[in-house]
């Protein structure tokens, strides 16, 4: 859109909004302050041991910056592998992980070219649009930035980022430089503008005006994609499936909006906050499925391989769907939600993170810990590793193998946060949390629970000295009847809000929370195939349940559940298979059936899952 009248009108609209730097409502705790002891810890350690400290071919990734890429965008691999490693290091402080990361960071720095770039393209070919050079350099910058912020503040690393970014700015920008929307491999080139996030992170580190100017160029001049003003479309409440024309690419769009969150934080212009919140709410309303991710191939965007927004919330039972819910989409949704949570303290963002964490994210990970499914189905063969990627030093590497661990590494970042009034508990899982009170004194929260097996959570609060402050607890939107008390005194706890406990806390104070994990019977949405008449699903607390062919040959036979007021009785039983987290018996007109948590179902052997269960007429 180059219409000058329209551009002027947009400029006036954006100027009318308030501008001042934004203070986050919630802030992450410092490194090493959260120690999970439950199921989150098992998944995180499995990923660290078998992926980040296991098969990742760091030297092979770096080699592409010397010898060139084998296929478009391959240079993304290094940055993605390193940033999840750095975020895991933030959680564990593991010296062996640090050594691995340090070694590969200095290996990468040795590839920096004479123009400052760290790139898989020779200087003469830069900026290499079809090769995905800018997208790759985005991940170089994010990998280096995560290392610099989480592992080691070596000035050489900062200098390398500055060299990379200054080179980009010398090549890309307003005329006579090359437009960022002319660079990329996709139909609308949205991927290149995702440089917004690293440029804002580097601005935060350096306060260099040229970086903020470049960010402003990406957002306010270039508009996010070739031929589309992505941010303005989000502001105008365009549904996600229609943003960006034939290519509403879910992962890249949210990555772009992670950058917009950083841009809003610095500029404080509420126009951008409205764009962020509108996209966030429209994704929830139109895209997010039962297991907390989105995007699909049918019926709207078959050419985008299941990686486009697709009105997936409505289409999730569409039997024509072959590919949906790319793991990169789920993880980037989780990360975008964490930005919204920090900016606004909206409990809906934490609800969404929980929904994806316990279902889509865990359900996509290989039981062997060394990778993730690419796309994820609700009915059929759940996992499918086929997609963009290739073999590096004998290891099959896909974008989703690289992004999955980042989703796990974000769980400690969001589980408990801080506010001006005191700690805020977003996720429930057995954990020991060491944080600070509003006056800056240490306080420990010891969360004892077998969640998500039950909804019983006990938190022992131990401040160093007695102090008056608040502890906030997220009450999930699915939890209708709750009981919350401190030392036996009852406190109100309403679904979909934070329950606030403001009092003078002393060591020995104990919070008891009981969430309503009764098994809910969920009717299917009515998409273009009107499947609402045909399927139902079971969700118990945060956990989606499913039928598994591995334990039940009738796994996809129609049944009618015996329900009352929208709930069914799910009776716990010992799992049939040893790697199953939870298994239940549920009564139907066809007798008792066995269901397990969606995440535990192992379809890597080609067996099938049935999550939307056909209704017997």
Q: Site for Zn ion (CB under 5 A): which residue of 328, 341, 415, 486?
A: 328
* Touching Zn ion, residues 214-273 (CB under 5 A): none
Spacing of C-alpha 462 from chain mean position: 31
Cα–Cα distance list, 44 to 39, 54, 91, 147, 358 (Å): 9, 13, 10, 19, 13
What backbone phi and psi angles, to 5 degrees, belong to 446? -105, 105
> Could you give the maximum distance between any two Cα atoms of the chain, in Å?
72
Q: In this complex, which beta carbon is closest to Zn ion, that of residue 398 or of residue 435?
A: 398
Nearer to Zn ion, 200 or 399 (CB): 399
Judged by CB under 5 A, the stretch of 143-151, 309-317, 400-408, 604-612 that binds Zn ion is: 400-408
Q: Tell me phi and psi for residue 603, to 5 degrees.
A: -105, 15
Candidate segments 236-244, 267-275, 377-385, 399-407, binder of Zn ion by CB under 5 A: 399-407
Interface with Zn ion in residues 563-602 (CB under 5 A): none
- Output the smallest distance, CB 327 to Zn ion, in A: 6
**Which stretch in 10-18, 322-330, 336-344, 359-367 sits in contact with Zn ion by CB under 5 A?**
322-330
Residue among 329 and 521 whose Cβ is closer to Zn ion: 329
How near is the Cβ of 335 to Zn ion at its closest, in Å?
A: 13
Query: Residue 444 burial (CB < 10 Å; 0-12/13-18/19+)?
Result: middle
- Residue carrying structure tokens 């409205």: 274
Residues that contact Zn ion, how many (by CB under 5 A): 4
**How far is the CA of 443 from the CAs of 93, 158, 423, 564, 574, in angstroms?**
21, 34, 9, 44, 38
Query: For residues 44 and 399, which CB has a smaller minimum distance to Zn ion in the complex?
Result: 399
Bridge partners for 571 per DSSP:
585
Residue closer to Zn ion (CB basis): 291 or 341? 291
The interface mask with Zn ion, positions 138-177, x = CB under 5 A, is ----------------------------------------
* Among the residue ranges 120-128, 328-336, 492-500, 524-532, the one whose residues contact Zn ion (CB under 5 A): 328-336
Q: At its nearest, how many Å lie between Zn ion and the CB of residue 401?
A: 8
Dig out the tokens for 365 from the structure.
Answer: 């990970």
Of 28-36, 92-100, 157-165, 393-401, the segment contacting Zn ion by CB under 5 A is 393-401
Q: Which of 288, 193, 186 is nearest to 241 (CA)?
A: 288
Q: How far is the CB of 27 from Zn ion (least distance, A)?
A: 29
Which of residues 58 and 388 has its CB atom nearest to Zn ion in the complex? 388
Q: Of 291 and 328, which has the nearer Cβ to Zn ion?
A: 328
By rule CB under 5 A, what string of x and - marks binding of each residue 493-532 to Zn ion? ----------------------------------------
Task: Return the number of the residue (255 or 583) whose C-beta is nearest Zn ion.
Answer: 255
List, in sequence order, every beta strand (DSSP E) within 213-366. 224-225, 228-229
Question: Of 326-334, 409-417, 467-475, 528-536, which part binds Zn ion (CB under 5 A)?
Answer: 326-334
Q: CB-hemisphere CA count at 13 Å for 76?
A: 24
Contacting Zn ion within 530-559 (CB under 5 A): none
Q: How far is the CB of 20 from Zn ion (least distance, A)?
A: 37
Q: Identify the CA nearest to 222 among candidates 271, 184, 174.
A: 174
Instruction: Name the residue nearer to Zn ion (CB basis): 331 or 491.
Output: 331
14, β-bridge pairs? none
Q: Please, which residue, 76 or 509, has the CB nearer to Zn ion?
A: 76
Residue 371 is encoded by which pair of tokens? 């990778």
- In our burial notation (b when 16+ CB lie closer than 10 A, e otherwise), range 376-408 reads bbbbeebbbbebbbeebeebebbbbbbbbbbbb
Residue 15 has a CB neighbour count (10 Å cut-off) of: 10
Half-sphere exposure of 415 (CA within 13 A, CB side): 31
Query: Phi-psi category of 549—alpha, beta or left, where left has phi over 0 and alpha has psi -120 to 50?
Result: alpha
Spell 464-503 as b/e; 16+ CB within 10 A means b: eeebebbbbbbbbbbbeebebebeeeebebebeebbebeb
Q: Which of 294, 290, 424 is nearest to 346 (CA)?
A: 424
Closest approach of Cβ 290 to Zn ion, in Å?
20
Any contact of residue 400 with Zn ion (CB under 5 A)? Answer: yes
| Closer by beta carbon to Zn ion, 90 or else 249 | 249
| Interface segment toward Zn ion; rule CB under 5 A; list 318-326, 511-519, 548-556, 605-613 | 318-326
Choice between 328 and 570, CB closer to Zn ion: 328
| Binding track over 61-100 against Zn ion, x by CB under 5 A | ----------------------------------------
Residue 398: CB minimum distance to Zn ion, A: 6
Where along the sequence are the contacts to Zn ion (CB under 5 A)? Answer: 326, 328, 399-400
């Amino acid at each position: 859109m180059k219409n000058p009248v329209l551009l002027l009108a947009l400029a006036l609209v954006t100027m009318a909004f308030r501008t001042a730097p934004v203070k986050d409502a919630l802030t992450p705790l410092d490194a090493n302050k959260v120690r999970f002891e439950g199921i989150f810890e098992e998944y995180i350690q499995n990923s660290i041991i078998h992926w980040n400290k296991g098969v990742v071919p760091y030297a092979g990734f770096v080699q592409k910056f010397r010898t060139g890429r084998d296929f478009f965008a391959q240079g993304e691999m290094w940055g993605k592998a390193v940033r999840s490693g750095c975020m895991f290091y933030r959680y564990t402080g593991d010296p062996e992980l640090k050594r691995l990361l340090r070694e590969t960071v200095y290996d990468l720095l040795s590839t920096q070219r004479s123009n400052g770039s760290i790139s898989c393209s020779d200087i003469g070919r830069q900026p290499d649009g079809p090769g995905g050079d800018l997208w790759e350099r985005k991940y170089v910058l994010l990998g280096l930035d995560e290392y610099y912020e989480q592992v080691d503040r070596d000035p050489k690393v900062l200098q390398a980022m500055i060299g990379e970014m200054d080179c980009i700015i010398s090549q890309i920008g307003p005329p006579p430089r090359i437009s960022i929307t002319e660079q990329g491999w996709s139909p609308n080139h949205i991927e290149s503008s995702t440089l917004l996030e690293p440029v804002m992170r580097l601005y935060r580190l350096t306060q260099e005006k040229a970086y903020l100017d470049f960010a402003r160029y990406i957002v306010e001049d270039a508009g996010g994609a070739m031929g589309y003003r992505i941010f303005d479309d989000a502001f105008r409440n365009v549904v996600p499936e229609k943003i960006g024309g034939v290519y509403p690419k879910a992962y890249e769009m949210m990555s772009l909006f992670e950058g917009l969150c950083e841009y809003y934080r610095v500029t404080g212009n509420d126009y951008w906050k409205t764009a962020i919140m509108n996209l966030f709410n429209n994704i929830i309303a139109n895209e997010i499925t039962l297991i907390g991710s989105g995007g699909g191939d049918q019926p709207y965007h078959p050419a985008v391989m299941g990686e486009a927004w697709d009105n997936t919330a409505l289409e999730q039972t569409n039997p024509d769907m072959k590919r949906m819910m790319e793991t990169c989409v789920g993880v980037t949704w989780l990360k975008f939600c964490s930005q919204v949570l920090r900016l606004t303290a909206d409990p809906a963002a934490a609800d969404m993170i929980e929904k994806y964490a316990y279902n889509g994210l865990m359900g996509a990970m290989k039981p062997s810990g060394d990778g993730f499914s690419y796309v994820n189905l609700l009915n059929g063969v759940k996992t499918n590793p086929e997609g963009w990627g290739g073999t590096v030093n004998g290891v099959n590497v896909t974008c989703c193998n690289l992004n999955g661990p980042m989703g796990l590494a974000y769980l400690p970042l969001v589980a408990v946060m801080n506010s001006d009034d005191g700690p805020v508990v977003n996720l429930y899982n057995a954990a020991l949390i060491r944080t600070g009170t509003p006056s800056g004194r240490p306080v420990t929260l010891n969360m004892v629970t077998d969640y998500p097996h039950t909804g019983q959570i006990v938190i022992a609060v131990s401040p160093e000295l007695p102090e008056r402050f608040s502890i906030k607890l997220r009450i999930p939107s699915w939890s209708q009847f709750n009981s919350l008390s401190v030392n036996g005194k009852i406190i109100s706890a309403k679904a979909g809000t934070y329950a606030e406990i403001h009092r003078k806390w002393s060591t020995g104070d104990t919070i008891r929370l009981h969430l309503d994990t009764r098994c809910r019977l969920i009717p299917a949405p009515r998409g273009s195939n009107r499947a609402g008449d045909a399927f139902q699903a079971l969700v118990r607390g945060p956990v989606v349940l499913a039928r598994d062919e591995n334990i039940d040959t009738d796994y996809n036979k129609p049944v009618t559940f015996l329900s009352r007021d929208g709930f069914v009785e799910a009776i716990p039983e010992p799992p049939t298979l040893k790697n199953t987290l939870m298994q239940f018996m549920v009564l139907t007109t066809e007798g008792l059936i066995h269901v397990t948590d969606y995440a535990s179902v192992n379809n890597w052997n080609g067996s099938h899952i049935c999550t939307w269960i056909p209704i017997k007429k």
